[in-house]
Structure 1
Amino acid sequence: MFIAGHAGLVGGALRRRLLQERCDILTIDRRRLDLRRQQDVENWMAENRPDIVLLAAATVGGIVANNTRPAEFLTDNLAIACNVIEAARKYDVGKLVFLGSSCIYPRDASQPVTEDALLTGALEPTNEAYAVAKIAGLKLAQAIRRQYGRDFISVMPTNLYGPGDRFDPERGHVIPALVHRMSEAKAAGTPECVIWGSGLVWREFLHVDDCADGVVHALQYYSGDAPLNIGSGEEVSIATLATLIAQAVGYRGRIVFDPARPEGPRRKLLDSSRIRALGWRPRVGLRDGLVDTVRWWRAQGHVAPAPSSARLALCHAEV
């Protein structure tokens, strides 16, 4: 079983989950295999011949990263999806799971978002490049399934967080970015933390270990043409999320919102009824998951140092 992207947030969780099942796992460091290089991917696939491929590799980031590096997000993710999926077809992989993202769905889709909403409206502009690449990967998996009869499926997780995330205050997603910034603010004694957006948008979050369990469940029990949503089914406002993170970190300063900054669509909740009908349920609640995430981050020795005086006033995070 080949986990493409095993060192990332989702790939790491998949590896932990599959080790529990005593699976024979194949991994390779990105420095030894660049998934953006077609011939290198084909050579590796021809030599190793995995039976199953879990495609979790991607170039990812928050709103700032998506807005400032759209060409990179598009080209990298297109190349990774095309190279791995086509090589899997060429070298007779029995089953492939392509991991997409909830951002593939239209910005103004009815809530909760069903899998049938795909391509029914315009995408969210702040992550359009990433979404287009993920849609292309999903469509390639569908096309190979239809033309060649291969059991290639796609799953669409909601917003993920947990151990292994990128705790980068500039490039990370909202939860790890806020954990880092609030830890900085706590260490510096900063009286307030300013967060991008109004705080009034609502988001769904899923602990990455629950996501990994859902992917393995889909691997075992799902074989269909349509993508399969994987979400917690619960929404929280960014304002509430910020309060929960502050509690988990121990930050007691004021939380201030900057509505002039981008924050994405008002709601983004997935309808995960299809995978729930297959018997899967999430297990980790958001409050407990945040505490677990902060505990893991600190155990890695990444407690944020006090920032320089030039950065004491603001505590940005991307939603």
Structure 2
Amino acid sequence: MSELEEILKEAARKVLGLPTEAKGSVSSLKKALGALSPNFKETLATPSPDKQSAKNPPQATIVVEAVEVKPKPPSAQPDEGAQKPAAHDRDLLHRLRESQKKLQKKADEAEKLRAKLQKEQRAVQEAQSAKGRALEEAAHLRKDLSRVAEERDRLSAELAKVEADKEALEGQLEGYKKRVDELEARVRELEGIAVQKEHLEAQLAGLSSFKETLPEPFPQEALLRVLVLDYPNLGDKAEERVIALIEGYWAFLKGEDHPALRHSNRELLVGEPEGMVLVGLEKLLLDLASLPLARWLRTHAFRLEALLQEGQRPSSPRLREE
């Protein structure tokens, strides 16, 4: 701007005819130019038409008014001193136009910067608006987070209470399980006792039956040392009773079990029996007598004798043994 002011001052001095050494401010020069007639004023530089547009906002331009310099009437003999100021004026005008172009360029750049500034300002406003929305959303999220935290604390407290109740219930359940186990063991024990009771009752009934069956005087302590077998109860038929007696005796000797031994005092014996008592001996003899056992034994013995012993063999004089 200082260079432009110097150019303007120099042009004003030339137009007003002031000496070069004269000094004054720009405002005093403008007042002197304003006092001149409008016919002597001319616009030295104006903005180019292609840079102005109705769509763009009005830009700041600098218009420099210069006073037309009228040349002096030519004389018959031009002197060289008069041509030098004219060349100097053209140089000043050229420099003035160049300065105007620079100013216009600066104005265009300023307009671009202004547009960029407006764009940045809009971006800043949008960013501030987005920031405001984000802050508002963050506030809502903080409220939601606070509610969630409160709900979490409440649920944690409830969970802790439930865990405590669960531990208490588990302790009670363990106690109930132990009690159930004890009761089941007691039930099994009572069932065993009941089985033993039934067994003892059955033995007592057997002893009572043996006592009634055995003749008097038969000592009761002998039932613990002597095997007593109730023959009449071994079956309904004679052959069933005889077969049961024989098979039961074999089982007793082998230490095995047999249905016939259920009609004895085998379980009451202490150690090896000292003897055997057969209740119903006469029934046994009657069964043996009623069965064809004697005849079968005799027939079987005769058959064996006929097979084992050779009798007298007949011979024929007409036949000779080879």
TM-score (norm 2): 0.18
Would you tell me which structure has more helix in proportion to its own residues? Answer: 2
Higher alpha-carbon Rg: 2
TM-score (norm 1): 0.18
